[in-house]
Structure 1
Amino acid sequence: MGTAPHAVVWVVVEYPGAWPANGFDGLGLEPGVKGGIYRAAQAARARVLLVRRHGRRARAAPDRRWGVLRFEGSGAHRQQWGTWSRDEDLAGIVEALGTPGEVGHPPVVLVCAHGRHDACCARRGRPVAHALSESWPDLVWECTHVGGDRFAANVVVAPDGVYYGALDQGSSVTAVEEHLADRIHAEHLRGYTDLFPPQQAAVTAVLDRFGPAGRHDYAVTGTVRDGDRWKIRISGRPPGPGSLTVEVRAHRTAPTQLTCRGTARSSAVVYEVTSIRGE
């Protein structure tokens, strides 16, 4: 828990061919178009991912799509979609990043299957993408690296901004089914992308203590840091607890292998919840 990279805007670009190791960065797009997308994404603090449908659908898609997915804390998440056949068509992404988008679209389920980035992403991600596509073919996309391999399989629901990790075929179907019913469980939850790591850990611990809840049922209302410790105030909606203070501390693990591809051993920051108190 506490390992979801911060993001509130997502750009997805359908690309059914082989993905470069560095994803969108490695595509040989027209420089002016690519530069415009970079500048607009940077200004919006958006993450850019390549996506494709799983299996045969990836090869048979008649039109490639792009989308801009935007998270709003109110729950009115917004999306804007377009299609492209020429590089110049992707300029629509720049315009979409400057507009609010439309409400009412279903969420997008992204499964990291980026084998050229790390073999585990594809080895474990593709079976998960297959299982999820069987149940939700119109919602599920394979995608390039979403961060935090730790031997995969990582699933992101956007623009909800919810990261799940260490999933397999069975657990992924359960997690997404519950998510779509607005019941987010602590198990497999890496965090909410609009929160920072200690806040993510605090919310995950609350879900673990009090049971699953909706994406917007808990809100972080205050964060105080003292060195490697935090006091985080969380307010909840009924029937859950109304107001809580969660204490979190951070520490580093002993050096270990963090990815399948990485040969060097590195330490990672781990967030531990030491107490949860009602107010």
Structure 2
Amino acid sequence: MTLKGCTHLEGCHTGDLPVLASATVGARFWLLIEHTGPWASQLEDCRLPDDVHTLVKRATDLGVRPQLIRRPGRRKPPESGVHVMVADSTAAEPWLAEGVVAGPHDLDLDALVAGVVPESCILVSEPVFLVCTHAKRNACCARIGLPLARSLAEVMPDRVWETSHVGGDRYAANLVCLPHGLYYGSMSQAAAIAAADAYRSGEIILDRFRGRAGIPEPLQAAEHFVRAHTGELSVGGVAVESSRSDGDTTEAFVRGSDVRFRVVVEPMTLTTPCGTACADTITTYRLVALDRLTPVRYATPALT
């Protein structure tokens, strides 16, 4: 079997090509399942215990993104039960919870999609970092992702996991920061450590930042351009308030710190140097207009 991948031509997987506005749109809720492998190209084709297959199917049916995870380096499976983590990336206050369940029906995924922590899990305060190393999907994810995951785990040994396909092989190596669902692509080891450190401090680094999962790509682009314009890097410091599309053009009204902006973006296609190995082209976005509007006005508390 020939694995999809590339020969690392100049500009490919190096951060030279734009990665903005490419985070996985459908990933609003997450289910991470520890399974040491091996991983087939598609999750449904993996040789998994029946309980894990059932969890993957239930999650998919409910619109929860399932991911297989394993520790970098030597791997020791859980002694009993199934180790899981769940996350809500688009809540007002995104959260992450963890637990060990005896079977698939011991994990209340309906609660997750309702924004409630399942009873079998407990909230965790530390973030989790996922590095895609899914070789059967794309050889580059393993070739670049494996050493990145191992080096990141040396710095944060309890918070880093290898994971199955997260979307965007052409952007390998991919890093996902949970619970907020922040995506980074074309990561070097130094860039990954910097991004993880920034996230632990509540900030984003724009270099190699793909966007935030669960948000339409044009709105990811609008947020990106406001951050680049204002220098606002706090995770929650920029947010789209409303938007409308006219053909390929999207107009968004974005809050950035204490100022609102009108942002207009359009998609554009770039040819990659990788040829057909990872992707012939990538779709990114260009800024058409960015207008500063009135400051954000907050209600003044009534005097007592």
| Identity across matched positions, percent | 28
Amino acid in structure 1 at the alignment position of 2:142: A
1:73 aligns with 2:91: yes
**1:274: how far off?**
2.4
Tell me what 1:47 maps to.
65
| CA distance 1:91–1:38, change in 2 (3 Å) | same
Amino acid in structure 1 at the alignment position of 2:284: V
Whole-angstrom distance in 2 between the partners of 1:70 and 1:230: 26
| CA distance 1:234–1:109, change in 2 (3 Å) | same
> Is the contact made by 2:40 and 2:136 (CA closer than 8 Å) also made in structure 1?
yes
Q: CA RMSD in A?
A: 2.4
Tell me what 2:285 maps to.
271
Amino acid in structure 2 at the alignment position of 1:41: T
| CA distance 1:254–1:168, change in 2 (3 Å) | closer
1:65-144 aligned within 5 A: 65-83=83-101, 89-93=103-107, 95-99=108-112, 100-101=116-117, 102-144=122-164
Q: Residue 145 of structure 2 aligns to a residue in which SS? A: helix
Whole-angstrom distance in 1 between the partners of 2:101 and 2:44: 17
Task: Tell me which of 259, 263, 268 is aligned to 1:251.
Answer: 268
1:189 aligns with 2:209: yes
> Is the contact made by 2:90 and 2:214 (CA closer than 8 Å) also made in structure 1?
no
Per-residue CA distance 1:183-216 (angstroms, 9 max, x = gap): 1121111011121101111111222222242221
**1:97: how far off?**
4.2
Q: Residue 203 of structure 1 aligns to a residue in which SS? A: helix
Unpaired runs of 5+ residues, structure 1, are none
| CA distance 1:72–1:249, change in 2 (3 Å) | closer
Structure with more contact order per residue of length (Cα contacts < 8 Å, sep ≥ 6): 2
Amino acid in structure 1 at the alignment position of 2:60: A
**Higher helix fraction (1 or 2):** 1
Per-residue CA distance 1:149-195 (angstroms, 9 max, x = gap): 11511001122111000101111000110111011121111011121
| CA distance 1:38–1:60, change in 2 (3 Å) | closer
**1:24: how far off?**
5.0
Whole-angstrom distance in 2 between the partners of 1:186 and 1:156: 14
Whole-angstrom distance in 2 between the partners of 1:18 and 1:36: 18
Whole-angstrom distance in 1 between the partners of 2:255 and 2:216: 17
> Is the contact made by 2:71 and 2:160 (CA closer than 8 Å) also made in structure 1?
yes
Give the total of aligned pairs: 265
**1:23: how far off?**
3.0
Q: TM-score, normalised by structure 2?
A: 0.79
> Is the contact made by 1:68 and 1:97 (CA closer than 8 Å) also made in structure 2?
no
